[in-house]
Amino acid sequence: MNILVLLKQVPDTTEMKIDKEKGTLIREGVPTITNPDDLAGMEVALRLKDKYGAKVTAVTMGPPQAENMLRELYAMGADHAVLLTDRKFSGADTWATSNTLAAFIKQVDFDLIIAGRQAIDGDTAQVGPQTAEKLGLPQISYVDDVLEFSKEKIVVKKALENNYEVLECSLPCVITTLSTIAKPRYMRVMGISHAFEKDITIKTFDDLNIDPAIIGLKGSPTKVKKTFTKEVHSNSDILHLDGKASARKVAEILMDMNFIGK
């Protein structure tokens, strides 16, 4: 079985700087990591590989530097890595990104696509579901556990706000994973020793047979008008109450805010 895992390299900091003119993130000089939800998705794929013998392919769209992330995924145990990279792809919103990913995925065989729920830089949680739509595939988002996996179907536990659903879906399909689904394994020493000998499949615009009007910054319908840091206000009320009354007051406030039940 073939599993594709969609991953993104993201800046490793909460103090991200913003390009005020373009309204996009400044990525230069900021250390990068593999997006945590995506890395959990990779771990799920590797566990399915360990258990069922699947072939795991890591797929990312990004700048040439994303190669380093793919080498790390090789060191964890990925079988194959694909980098979709072209200046024409850059500046893409989620719609243009999923167009690009889908154009590549249409060219390859697969049984299951795993995407992280959302990236810590954009926080949209859209790319996985959009890619599924563009490929005409069923999708299950917010997957917190994979219970069964076979050539025909997958059975998963999907997280809802206060409970879980167990869903069965025929293959091929797309699932999006939460970072809590699986703690990613460490790279292996031997994996690192050989990660740099492995080929990374590079796909550019010319390889994808895609309309240039639906990719990259120009093909992105979402225009970021403004990016700014949220102002944090703390309006505080000061009450002078004795012990019993203050406990009651705190309980009331928590109930009003639905932190505790009434």
> From the list 14, 53, 152, 189, which residue makes contact with another protein (rule: CB under 8 A)?
189
Scan residues 63-122 and list those touching another protein (CB under 8 A).
68, 71-72, 75
Tell me: does residue 193 bind another protein (CB under 8 A). yes
Counting residues that bind another protein (by CB under 8 A) gives: 14
- CB 12 within 8 Å of CB 30: yes
Query: Which residue number, 182 or 210, has a Cβ lying nearer to another protein?
Result: 182
Least distance CB 69 / another protein (angstroms): 11
Least distance CB 38 / another protein (angstroms): 17
Interface region with another protein, contact rule CB under 8 A, candidates 102-110, 190-198, 221-229, 246-254: 190-198
- CB 7 within 8 Å of CB 39: yes
Query: Which residue number, 25 or 33, has a Cβ lying nearer to another protein?
Result: 33
Q: Which of 79, 105, 103 is nearest to 199 (CA)?
A: 79
Least distance CB 185 / another protein (angstroms): 8
> From the list 17, 51, 194, 249, which residue makes contact with another protein (rule: CB under 8 A)?
194
Tell me: does residue 190 bind another protein (CB under 8 A). yes
**Can you list the positions of beta strands (E) in the chain?**
2-7, 9-11, 18-19, 24-25, 32-34, 55-61, 80-84, 112-116, 139-149, 153-159, 164-170, 173-177, 200-203
Least distance CB 45 / another protein (angstroms): 19
Least distance CB 190 / another protein (angstroms): 5
Separation between Cα atoms, residue 84 and residue 64, nearest integer Å:
9
Tell me: does residue 51 bind another protein (CB under 8 A). no
User: 3-class SS at 25?
Assistant: strand
In the complex, the residues that contact another protein under the rule CB under 8 A are 68, 71-72, 75, 186-190, 192-196
